[in-house]
Amino acid sequence: MDRHDAVLARYDRQMRRGAVADGPGARVEHVGGVVRQTAGHGGWNGVLWSDLDTATADAAVAEQVRHFTSLGREFEWKLYGHDMPADLGDRLLAAGFVREPAETLMVAPAAGLRDLEVELPAGVELREVTDADGVELAVRGYGRAFGTDGSWLREHLLTQLSSERRTVVAVVATADGEPVGSSRLELAPGRDFAGLWSGGTVPEWRGRGLYRASLAFRARLAAERGHRFLQVDALPTSRPILERLGFTALSTTTPFLYRPRTPGRVR
């Protein structure tokens, strides 16, 4: 087994098959060849891993639909390029899921990224969110960067701040006190991988190094907390940047979404 295969096998074992709940009120369940997370309002609901074949796939898919729709939850089936059976994506579509654009699962050593020392523009500060005021800045930065409502993020981060075991760290970039970027680092206790999520910069500040600076900031936080690898689901626009910084592609991941009448949240 080469290093690529070994790291992918470790990722599957720790972050998918051995997943831990990503926040208070969420639970991870192993049911009929599927590992899923069920969360409350504002949390992420979905299938993280499956061990299926052509004889068991359709029944397993139907069971997940029954489970989450009975709770009124929107949920995501994270399908990886190496998952079986090979036609699982087609089976999900036939069951009523909607396929989102594919992303690339990429990893890098948390302490070994290249060319990340970036001098921030004058007046810009990066900091970890540690209080309710910081949460509001991060939510505003997220909303401006992605052009979407960040209400779910407010609830998610406030819940994390009040938890004894924080699994999410938010980072906010401010310019003269105003938010110009927002990002998250997800930390699974006892796991080698830390996840990079929702790194965004407001339009007028793009192209000035904030994305790389945020990545470097989160890499240091991950290394300080004992995580060996950074992991990111990269869009096609981000993959070349991440490759130049030392990230390696392990697989692809495609979100398949199922939306009942009462929506929840996807990552």
Taking the CA atoms of 123, 173, 160 and 14 in sequence, report the sign of the dihedral they define: negative
- Which of helix, strand or coil describes residue 15? helix
* Nearest partner of 83 among 63, 57, 65, judged by Cα: 57
Query: Three-state SS for 161?
Result: helix
Tens-digit pLDDT profile for residues 16-74 = 999 999 888 899 999 989 999 999 877 899 999 999 999 999 999 999 999 999 999 99
Q: What is the mean pLDDT of the chain?
A: 92
Q: Look at residue 175 and tell me whether its pLDDT is greater than 50.
A: yes
Q: What is the pLDDT of residue 267?
A: 54
Task: Give the number of residues written for the chain.
Answer: 267
In terms of pLDDT, which residue wins out, 146 or 260?
146
Q: Is this model's pTM higher than 0.95 or not?
A: no
| Residue 216 pLDDT greater than 70, yes or no | yes
Say how far residue 58 (Cα) sits from the centre of its chain: 26
Asked if the model's pLDDT at residue 264 lies above 90, the reply is no
pLDDT of residue 91: 98
Token duo for residue 159:
């819940």
Average pLDDT over residues 73-93: 97
215 Cβ contact list (under 8 Å, min separation 6)? 113, 116, 183, 196, 199, 245
What band does 257 get if pLDDT is binned at 50, 70 and 90? Answer: very high
pLDDT digits (tens, 9 = 90+) for 95-106: 999 999 999 999
Please spell the DSSP secondary structure of 89-147, one letter per residue.
HHHHHHTT-EEPPPEEEEEEETT--SS---PPPTTEEEEE--SHHHHHHHHHHHHHHHT
Residue 166 pLDDT? 84
Is the bond into 85 cis (omega within 30 degrees of 0)? yes
Distances (CA, A) of 211 to 84, 132, 200, 237, 242: 35, 23, 7, 13, 11
Per-residue pLDDT tens digits for 124-154: 999 999 999 999 999 999 999 999 998 889 9
